[in-house]
Chains A and B, each alone.
Chain A
Amino acid sequence: MSDNKENTPMVNTGEYFTSGNLAVAEGSLAAGCKFFGGYPITPSSEVAEHMSIKLPQTKGHFVQFEDEIASIASILGASWGGWKSMTATSGPGYSLMLENIGLGIMTETPCVIVNVQRGGPSTGLPTLVGQQDIQQARWGSHGDYEIIALSPNSVQECFDLAITAFNLAEEYRVPVTILMDETIGHMSEKLIIPEKEKIKIVNRKKPTNEADGHLPYKADEDLIPPMAVAGEGYNVITTGLTHDERGYPALDADAQKILLTRLLDKIRKNKDKIIKLEEYMLDDSEFVIVSFGISSRAAKGAVNLARKKGLKVGYLRLITVWPFPDEQINQIAEKVKAIFITEINSGQVTREVKRAVEGKTEVHGLLKLGGAIHTPAEIVEEIERRTK
């Protein structure tokens, strides 16, 4: 393999005081990202800017494309060239990317998309916080699919989850979205970049059989096919059409069922391995706040405040937003009097929690509609009001 083909990670070990946007870029470099195709958009542009400085230093490439559609298409192409690749955007750009995220899902192309969310719909609040793309990330592309989406709540976690995102993308051969938000992207905190040896990197499985007669979409037992890339002599083939194990278009209900079932199951059946949650004071709690991203910072503060007041409140944070932790939330529902969700949208995670609890407990969304984050005091006030 030529020097250019290796996903050589760039690990800038050290302690920094920096922003979430720069941290997610550094995490991506540490994961071995070598290609960034992007288009400027507030509040994500610093990710692109940082990658434009760093990638050429790693023998990678940064290209600013004409739009977000080109950006996502380019990173799919780069991934098929054997490079780990990514883009970063915000809600409007993510909307434009969705068709090709679908192509990435259908062609099982590892790549990472950072969405630094702002208030919407439409141009909305470009410079202010939002968490309104949760359902867009899940359902925005046409057709049925399963996706992985992660939501960091600190600068450190932007770095850590960037590595996780690339690892999951490579392992499951699926585009992975990092759902950040304006506050997480722009706030500055301490970031520790560990030594290279301490970072676990996952690379896509490669085929071990001969190119002749190779079936590029025949999955192993884990439902994931090994991935040859361009230039390796396998004559790789991709199509967004429904296809068989050879990668040939197969336009009938049977082929559709076989392919789609596998694409769904490779995520669904590995949910337990993919889902990461953070629990806090859950054991004896009567009330639980479910949250994620920046909203979870206020939620955790609210737990501490409530405990001081003698209210038994616990906390569950979705580090993985998709696939959704149905079982875990259902189990919690059996033990508590009510679940509260803090989120900056009109109830996108709240509806998932309602679905997951199957009526076993009360569910209340404590919702902000964009532009501002919760305060711990107002969360506690709301809990007190609703539980009197």
Chain B
Amino acid sequence: MTEEEIGLIEAEEHPLDCYLRKGRIPHIWCPGCSLGSVATMIIEAIRETGIDPKNISVISGIGCTGRTAGYLNFDSFHTTHGRAIPFAIGLGLTDPNRKIIVISGDGDLASIGGNHLIHAARRNADITVICVNNFQYGMTGGQVGPTSYKGQVQTTAPYSNIEEPFNLPELIKACGATYVARWTALDVRRVKESFVEAINHKGFSFVEILGACPTTYGRRNQLREGIAILENFKERAVIEHGIDTEKVAIGKEGPIIVGRFVDIHDKPSLTDNLLSIQRMATASKGKGS
């Protein structure tokens, strides 16, 4: 152990502490929940990009995942349910150097905020959206959601869910997103790498993280412990980079396909397009319009 390391231990400070807001820890998340490690991966990824923390903004909606922004010591915004994306777009457009990271849950982003999600992808807005999918609504006590698979049991689907879930990568790809990936929360190294790619990506990037919610998902679906959910992911996960997203839907059983599905670099982003409109407008103003 180097002297420096010993010093750190004595100070009881973790090297990532400065990225967390003082006095906000302990967090509200349950034991066995994936959200803590997802937050850590976001910090690690930001560090790895080398971007000046001043130029990072983190925006969340409402829900368990929606609490993430408030713990992170960047410019951070806890918005309304479903509306993190348009807030983030407005914020991002005020400075093209600002990196915008939206982190929220599946219910927040794909249900109440679904309209904003698809349009942000269509516009190729310059934001990274990290969607932690735990297959239902955690904070409100485990209600069924748009990512719940058929046969899943939740408090508002007591006889089992009868609806088809969204296949998020397929949805987002179809809308025009230029970076789409999915990982399980277990795969921390690849999660972090993917976050780095997404943050560095120009245009709309979307990373779905399959997370463990033992409290309101697991215990109703024979996966009582967080670790059981993760083990289930591990058994079923198959990496298939570049696979047709049509094939990555998640059901009660069968493989869970993860990987980097879309990575396109030649499509102008919303900011690019707006800046070129500015150039057009300034030129035509010169002509006296």
How far is B73's CA from A63's CA once the two chains are assembled, in angstroms?
Answer: 29
B24 at the interface (CB under 8 A from A): yes
Residues B80 and A103 in contact, CB atoms below 8 Å apart: yes
Residues of chain A within 8 A of B88, CB atoms compared: 77
Q: Across the two chains, which residue of chain B brings its CB closest to A103?
A: B80
Do A77 and B89 contact each other (CB < 8 Å), given the known contacts A53-B281, A66-B115, A230-B57? yes
Residues A56 and B277 in contact, CB atoms below 8 Å apart: yes
Do A67 and B90 contact each other (CB < 8 Å), given the known contacts A56-B278, A56-B282, A239-B78? no
A321 at the interface (CB under 8 A from B): no
Residues A237 and B76 in contact, CB atoms below 8 Å apart: yes
- Name the residue among A232, A234, A235, A249 with the largest chain B CB count within 10 angstroms: A235
A248 at the interface (CB under 8 A from B): yes
Tell me whether chain A's interface is mostly helix, strand or loop, or mixed.
mixed
Indicate which residue in B70, B86, B93 contacts A248 across the interface (CB closer than 8 Å). B70
A13 → B minimal CB distance (Å): 15
- Name the residue among B24, B86, B89, B115 with the largest chain A CB count within 10 angstroms: B86
Residues A59 and B278 in contact, CB atoms below 8 Å apart: yes
A215 → B minimal CB distance (Å): 12
Do A230 and B78 contact each other (CB < 8 Å), given the known contacts A53-B281, A249-B70? no
Do A240 and B91 contact each other (CB < 8 Å), given the known contacts A70-B116, A248-B23? no
Residues of chain B within 8 A of A77, CB atoms compared: 59, 77, 86-92
Residues of chain A within 8 A of B79, CB atoms compared: 73, 76, 103, 238, 240
How far is B38's CA from A168's CA once the two chains are assembled, in angstroms?
Answer: 41
A132 at the interface (CB under 8 A from B): no
Residues of chain B within 8 A of A65, CB atoms compared: 86, 119
Residues A233 and B91 in contact, CB atoms below 8 Å apart: no
| Interface 0/1 of B266-289, CB less than 8 Å to A | 000010001001101110010000
Residues of chain A within 8 A of B87, CB atoms compared: 73-74, 76-77
Q: Across the two chains, which residue of chain B brings its CB closest to A235?
A: B73
Residues B24 and A81 in contact, CB atoms below 8 Å apart: no
Indicate which residue in A70, A100, A236 contacts B119 across the interface (CB closer than 8 Å). A70
Residues B78 and A246 in contact, CB atoms below 8 Å apart: no
Tell me whether chain B's interface is mostly helix, strand or loop, or mixed.
helix
Which parts of A34-91 form the interface with B (CB within 8 Å)?
34-35, 37, 53, 56-57, 59, 61, 63, 65-67, 69-71, 73-83, 85
A123 at the interface (CB under 8 A from B): no
Residues B280 and A56 in contact, CB atoms below 8 Å apart: yes
A241 at the interface (CB under 8 A from B): yes
Residues B98 and A81 in contact, CB atoms below 8 Å apart: yes
Do A238 and B77 contact each other (CB < 8 Å), given the known contacts A63-B89, A248-B21, A249-B70? yes
Residues of chain B within 8 A of A235, CB atoms compared: 21, 73-76
B139 → A minimal CB distance (Å): 12
Residues B90 and A85 in contact, CB atoms below 8 Å apart: yes
Residues B76 and A231 in contact, CB atoms below 8 Å apart: no
How far is B82's CA from A240's CA once the two chains are assembled, in angstroms?
Answer: 13
A209 at the interface (CB under 8 A from B): no
Residues of chain A within 8 A of B78, CB atoms compared: 237-241
Indicate which residue in B21, B73, B119, B285 contacts A57 across the interface (CB closer than 8 Å). B285
Indicate which residue in B23, B119, B277 contacts A246 across the interface (CB closer than 8 Å). B23
Residues B95 and A5 in contact, CB atoms below 8 Å apart: yes
A2 → B minimal CB distance (Å): 7
A225 → B minimal CB distance (Å): 16
A17 → B minimal CB distance (Å): 18
B54 at the interface (CB under 8 A from A): yes
Residues A81 and B70 in contact, CB atoms below 8 Å apart: no
Residues of chain B within 8 A of A83, CB atoms compared: 94
Which parts of A75-129 form the interface with B (CB within 8 Å)?
75-83, 85, 99-100, 102-103
Residues B93 and A2 in contact, CB atoms below 8 Å apart: no
A4 at the interface (CB under 8 A from B): yes
Residues B76 and A70 in contact, CB atoms below 8 Å apart: no
Residues A82 and B89 in contact, CB atoms below 8 Å apart: no
Do A74 and B95 contact each other (CB < 8 Å), given the known contacts A103-B80, A235-B75, A249-B70? no
Residues A37 and B95 in contact, CB atoms below 8 Å apart: no
B60 → A minimal CB distance (Å): 9
Indicate which residue in B59, B73, B83, B278 contacts A70 across the interface (CB closer than 8 Å). B83
How far is B70's CA from A81's CA once the two chains are assembled, in angstroms?
Answer: 17
Residues A35 and B86 in contact, CB atoms below 8 Å apart: no
Residues B75 and A231 in contact, CB atoms below 8 Å apart: yes
A169 → B minimal CB distance (Å): 15
B140 → A minimal CB distance (Å): 15
Q: Across the two chains, which residue of chain A brings its CB closest to B280?
A: A56
A50 → B minimal CB distance (Å): 13
B114 → A minimal CB distance (Å): 10
Do A239 and B70 contact each other (CB < 8 Å), given the known contacts A56-B280, A57-B281, A57-B282? yes
A153 → B minimal CB distance (Å): 31
Residues B86 and A71 in contact, CB atoms below 8 Å apart: yes
Residues B274 and A66 in contact, CB atoms below 8 Å apart: no
Q: Across the two chains, which residue of chain A brings its CB closest to B83?
A: A73
B37 at the interface (CB under 8 A from A): no
How far is B76's CA from A81's CA once the two chains are assembled, in angstroms?
Answer: 12
How far is B93's CA from A230's CA once the two chains are assembled, in angstroms?
Answer: 12
B200 at the interface (CB under 8 A from A): no
How far is B94's CA from A2's CA once the two chains are assembled, in angstroms?
Answer: 10
Indicate which residue in A4, A81, A246 contacts B91 across the interface (CB closer than 8 Å). A81
Residues of chain A within 8 A of B280, CB atoms compared: 56
B55 at the interface (CB under 8 A from A): yes
Residues B80 and A73 in contact, CB atoms below 8 Å apart: yes
A56 → B minimal CB distance (Å): 3
| Interface 0/1 of B29-59, CB less than 8 Å to A | 0000000000000000000000000110101
Q: Across the two chains, which residue of chain A brings its CB closest to B283?
A: A57
How far is B258's CA from A44's CA once the two chains are assembled, in angstroms?
Answer: 46
Residues B95 and A4 in contact, CB atoms below 8 Å apart: yes
**Sample (14) of A-B pairs whose CB atoms are under 8 Å apart:** A53-B281, A59-B278, A63-B89, A65-B86, A67-B115, A69-B86, A70-B115, A77-B86, A77-B92, A80-B75, A81-B95, A230-B57, A235-B21, A238-B76
Q: Which residues from chain B sit less than 8 Å from chain A, CB to CB?
A: 21, 23-24, 54-55, 57, 59, 70, 73-80, 82-83, 85-96, 98, 115-116, 119, 270, 274, 277-278, 280-282, 285
